Amino acid sequence: MSRVQALIAAQKQKHENVKPTIVEIRFGDELVDIRFWPLTGQQWRDLTARHPYRPDSEFDNALGYNLAGVLVGYPTATEQSRVYLVDGDNAEQLSPDDWADMCAVLDGPELQKLEHTIWAMHEYDRAQETVAAGKARAGERQKKQH
């Protein structure tokens, strides 16, 4: 197996073993957990491309896409982009319509928490993994030099 094929296989394995992200929000008068399954990099890029930034939004402009639209559209991105309402041991997969209806009635802070969660799991967390890998690689190079 070539080096590139080994790296591709390792990345596919990483995607197959990905863990969901769970965020607690207030929905009505209750605290509920929402479980998101992350997308691959290409799936995330395809989803963000379907929700271009709003020209009058500095926040969107900085990101390059409409994060509010990405949140609402999340369950429609791919078969893997599942969203669950978790209540104890029960997890209910939300349909795209139920998810959109839920987002339409959530308060601003709860929407912001959900938006931040999906942004972090696809952008920030991945960037931090790259930084950590770079530091590890730099440490290995220093050991080899001594």
CB neighbour class for 117 (10 Å; exposed up to 12, middle 13-18, buried from 19): middle
Higher per-residue pLDDT: 85 or 143 = 85
The confidence score (pLDDT) of residue 138 equals 62
Q: How many CB atoms lie within 10 A of CB 100?
A: 16
Distance between start and end Cα atoms, the chain: 32
Q: For the whole prediction, is pTM greater than 0.85?
A: no
Q: What is the pLDDT of residues 51-104, one digit of tens each?
A: 999 999 998 999 999 999 999 999 886 676 689 999 888 999 999 999 999 999
> Residue 123 carries which DSSP code?
I
Q: What is the DSSP string of 68-92?
A: HHHHHHGGGS-TT--EEEEETTEEE
Let me know if residue 132 belongs to a domain: no
Q: What is the domain extent for residue 28?
A: 10-125
Let me know if residue 20 belongs to a domain: yes
The confidence score (pLDDT) of residue 127 equals 61
Total number of domains constituting the chain? 1
8 Å CB contact between 27 and 87: no
63: Cα separation from own chain's centroid: 14
Let me know if residue 21 belongs to a domain: yes
- Provide the mean pLDDT of the chain: 86
Q: What share of the chain is helix, strand, coil (3-state, %, to 5)?
A: 60, 15, 25
